[in-house]
Amino acid sequence: MNQFLIKPKVQFGANALDFISQMSAHHAFIVTDRAMVKFGLADEVTRRLTQSGIAFSIYDDVEPDPDISAIVKGMKIMDKQYPDVVIALGGGSVIDAAKAVIYSLWHTKKDVNRVKPQFIAIPTTSGTGSEVTSFSVIKSQSEKLVLVDEFMLPDVAILDPALVKSVPASITADTGMDVLCHALEAYVSRTASDFSDALAEKAVQLVFGHLIDCYRDGSNLVAREKMHNASCIAGMAFTNASLGITHSLAHALGGVFHIPHGRANALLMAQVVAFNADLEGRCDNEAAKRYAHLAKNLNLPASTIREGVESLIMAINVLKDEMNMPKGIQATGTNEFDFNARLGEMVGQALRDSCTPTNPRDVSKVQLEMLYRQSF
Ligand code: NAD
């Protein structure tokens, strides 16, 4: 028996944030980071809450790639407030932190009076799709742990393109490649379905159609809206179909060497596509056929499966080059000696990552190590 779940109501497009002005609640607890306060995005939310007569408090101590201490701190503050609505305003780091705080608080407290608050996720990057996923990625020391529970799914996702205008070009590139990786990995996942395929195909087209415009001109609201939608659509695909070893390798790499999540995916993605498609071998497995199908959809040369896979890999690399992304792990400033010293640890983490079992091709420790070396 299979299941496909889409939980949150999605408010999207220009002025989607006005949804806040129409809410009724007593007390909103806003989880965010300092950049949201600095760029005035938190004000956009609090102004609308004030218009609706809703009191609010703010927890803005979330850092990129949040760790357990940020969750414990958030729990302590939220615990005293009994909010009836929680608003996560930020990138994947903030939304994941809010998810983990809500989950931990409502699963550790045995308080019958505690009603789960309405949970509203407002992404300010177009990348993780966390606003529609049942995942939360939290760091414990240098390991990124993926929590999975439908309890963490937001009730409402607000996709307002005006909130992503301020994302700098390099973060636009990183997060945009994250969207592409979600769509590609969901599409070839062992648990892909007709439902997730439709979403993944659309997300791939939106990324190749609009990411470069967002990178070149962050104020292009048409392109920003398309990428914001792509991120959410890819999220709907992978929360159901799961992911693959690009993510497993990226979680470990990002956790150990502090490389932003989307950039880590971008560094590994083309090598993983070649590996999954068995490009060095027969290149006729199901994953290869699926990559070739995506290439055909993008009007890339794909008269044979192999040509389609090669075209897709080339298109990924061209997109990265056009956005001046680092060509290898070394180009991110990672020292070769440190890389070799931590390789075994990263391979171990990648092997036990929750994204590995759904990768289309079985992978061994040796092959994971090879993929890291190829990407260095
Ligand atoms: P992020 O949330 O870490 O944000 C990156 C940087 O961009 C931060 O400094 C942030 O302050 C800044 N920023 C965010 N919005 C901005 C805006 N509008 N203007 C200017 N600056 C802005 O980056 P992310 O890629 O969105 O999230 C990455 C995290 O999400 C990682 O921990 C990753 O593992 C996790 N993740 C979660 C899921 C999921 O399903 N839950 C999926 C993929 C990744």
Q: Tell me if 375 CB under 6 Å of ligand 1.
A: no
Between 79-83, 314-318, 334-338, the lowest mean confidence (pLDDT) is in 79-83
| DSSP H or E segment with residue 145 | strand 143-148
Ligand 1 atom 15, closest CA: 124
Instruction: Give the Cα-Cα-Cα angle 332, 275, 283 (nearest 5 degrees).
Output: 145
For the chain, give the percent of residues with pLDDT over 90: 93
Residue 113: per-residue pLDDT: 72
130 lines ligand 1 (CB under 6 A): yes
| Res 143: pLDDT | 87
Is the Cβ atom of 167 under 6 angstroms away from ligand 1? yes
Query: Residue 159's pLDDT is what?
Result: 98
Give backbone dihedrals phi and psi of 55, rounded to 5 degrees, phi first: -70, 155
Rounded to the nearest whole angstrom, what is the distance from the C-alpha of residue 95 to the centroid of ligand 1?
A: 8
CA distance 311 to 30: 44
Residue with tokens 């607000």: 158
Residue nearest to atom 2 of ligand 1 (CA): 91
Q: Is the CB of 181 under 6 A from ligand 1?
A: no
Q: Pick from 277, 292, 295, 259: which is nearest to 375 by CA?
A: 259
Q: Is the pLDDT reported for residue 112 higher than 70? A: no
Determine whether the shortest distance from the Cβ of 103 to ligand 1 is under 6 A: no
What pLDDT, on a 0 to 100 scale, did the predictor assign at position 103?
A: 93
- What is the predicted pLDDT for the residue at 106? 87
Please check the confidence at residue 24 and state whether its pLDDT lies above 70: yes
Mean pLDDT of the chain: 96
> How close is the Cα of 93 to the center of ligand 1, in Å?
5
For 221-271, how does the pLDDT look when each residue is reduced to its tens digit (9 = 90+)? 999 999 999 999 999 999 999 999 999 999 999 999 999 999 999 999 999
- Closest listed residue to residue 183, CA positions, set 107, 238, 250: 238
Nearest residue to 350 (alpha-carbon basis) of 335, 331, 371, 326: 371
Strands 9-12 and 27-31: unpaired
For residue 99, what is the enclosing H or E element? helix 92-108
pLDDT of residue 109: 73
Give 114's pLDDT tier (boundaries 50, 70, 90).
confident
**Can you tell me the ipTM of this complex?**
0.99
**Percent of the chain topping pLDDT 70:** 99
CB of 185 within 6 A of ligand 1: the answer is no
